[in-house]
Amino acid sequence: MTEDTFRQTSASFPADFLWGAATAAHQIEGNNVSSDWWLRENSPDRDVPDRSGDAADSFHRFATDIALVAELGLQCYRFSIEWARIEPEPGRFSIAMRDHYGRMIDCCRQAGVTPVITLHHFTNPLWFARRGGWQWSGAPAAFAAYVSFLSPILTDVPWICTINEPNLLAGAPNDARTGAALPSLPAPDPRATAHIVAAHRRARTILSAASNAATGWTIAAQAYQAAPGFEDRLADFRHPREDLFLEVSREDDFVGVQAYLRTFVDETGPLPVADDVETTQMGWEYFPPALGIAVRHAHSIAHRPVLVTENGIATADDTRRIDYTAEALLGLHAAMADGIDVRGYIHWSLLDNYEWGSYRPTFGLVAWDPITFARTPKPSAHWLGNLARTGVLELPAPAGAVR
Ligand code: BGC
């Protein structure tokens, strides 16, 4: 970003820009008992502090959540379909569960909210994990069977994300992100990578015959920066972790970009976050320009229209959420002004949620009561909703700028 960008005080987004908020099934629905994560959380030797339990009970309260999206003024809701509910045992597909997600899609439409559907968001059916998860040679066919079964409810969905953060999924077999994992991203496993790429392609083939949706996948895109002297080798480090997946996006209708942070890399790998910088509840550096940097990089590899499918901050200070989001959006706007085709911005997350092992980090625009499940939008929810209505980003004071 340039000095001039930092001095900007407002930015206008296109009238048809899609504004929204995202969630993922396991993180908000509750009682996802046939999944690998449920087993992990409920094992006697569990390696995460919290169980997901009832989560935000969105499995039953989805209509409230979708109504909230609409009331706030947001235009789209990105949510995921839970494979473990659709196919709790191999080959045993549940029509009733498919109907449930079909009702969510209908509910969006009735509320005037565009559904953006994710078909796989980190969790796997337990039976799939027991067969080896994404390492299993049968994984692409199993995923294709699940997508085929779902296709009747996806006919009129405009945006479909096949697999969330395949680049993290491939690095953590049978597993997903835990809070600590991201800064020290392992290199994805080549076998899992190959199966995940094949599953994505098969899903796209099925969906192109069954629906008019724009299809793509959503990449965990970081603002990587080389430590001095490591510039040439950064590309080698980044390729298996990110660029390989962005290259697959070249075949797709769009590339979903999810960006939160920056990571410095030297010959030893990713460096720990410096002691003297502001950090979020995740321990990640507070670095809003990550979004613009990641979008520029993703577009330079994928050459496809971009949909920002996640960006946000874990903080207990909601004013910091507004600051972070405003500055991230300013960087996004600058990328668009430079000609990058960005179709929308979907904030992570609509709700505080189960952050892969812990309820402590709060990413939500909306809080909820753990006993009554009553939802309470935070000021940031109204701020983002207002931005969605006007399309004009007014920056909070000169502050938003360099910190
Ligand atoms: C994931 C979400 C997660 C968020 C914050 C993204 O990588 O898709 O499931 O909660 O980041 O860690």
Ligand 1 geometric centre to CA of 115 (Å): 19
Q: What is the mean pLDDT of residues 249-256?
A: 98
User: Residue 95 has what pLDDT?
Assistant: 98
- Burial environment of residue 316 by CB neighbours within 10 A (0 to 12, 13 to 18, 19 or more): exposed
For residue 399, the one-letter residue type is A
Model confidence, pTM: 0.95
Beta-strand ranges (E) seen in 15-101 are: 18-22, 76-80
Ligand 1 geometric centre to CA of 70 (Å): 23
> Ligand 1: does its nearest atom lie under 6 Å from the Cβ of 352?
no
> Ligand 1: does its nearest atom lie under 6 Å from the Cβ of 220?
yes
User: Residue 98 has what pLDDT?
Assistant: 99
Ligand 1 geometric centre to CA of 2 (Å): 29
User: What is d(CA 329, CA 262) in angstroms, rounded to the nearest whole number?
Assistant: 16
For residue 341, the one-letter residue type is D
Q: Ligand 1, closest atom to CA 220?
A: 7
Q: Which of 356, 359, 360, 362 to mutate to test the pocket of ligand 1 (most atoms within 8 A of CB)?
A: 356
Ligand 1 geometric centre to CA of 280 (Å): 14
> Ligand 1: does its nearest atom lie under 6 Å from the Cβ of 36?
no
Q: What is the mean pLDDT of residues 243-270?
A: 95
Taking only the tens place, the pLDDT of each residue in 98-140 is 999 999 999 999 999 999 999 999 999 999 999 999 999 999 9
392 contacts 213 by C-beta, under 8 angstroms = no
Taking only the tens place, the pLDDT of each residue in 290-348 is 999 999 999 999 999 999 999 999 999 999 999 999 999 999 999 999 999 999 999 99
What is the number of other CB atoms lying within 10 angstroms of the CB of residue 365?
28
Assess whether pLDDT exceeds 50 at residue 174.
Answer: no
User: Residue 4 has what pLDDT?
Assistant: 47
Pick from 385, 392, 390, 367: which is nearest to 70 by CA?
385
Residue 9 — pLDDT band, cuts 50, 70, 90? confident
> Ligand 1: does its nearest atom lie under 6 Å from the Cβ of 310?
yes
For the chain, give the longest Cα–Cα distance.
Answer: 58
Give kind and range of the element (H or E) at residue 232: helix 231-238
CA-atom Rg of the chain in angstroms: 20
What is the chain's mean pLDDT, rounded? 93
Helix %, strand %, coil % for the chain, to 5?
A: 45, 20, 40
- Burial environment of residue 262 by CB neighbours within 10 A (0 to 12, 13 to 18, 19 or more): buried
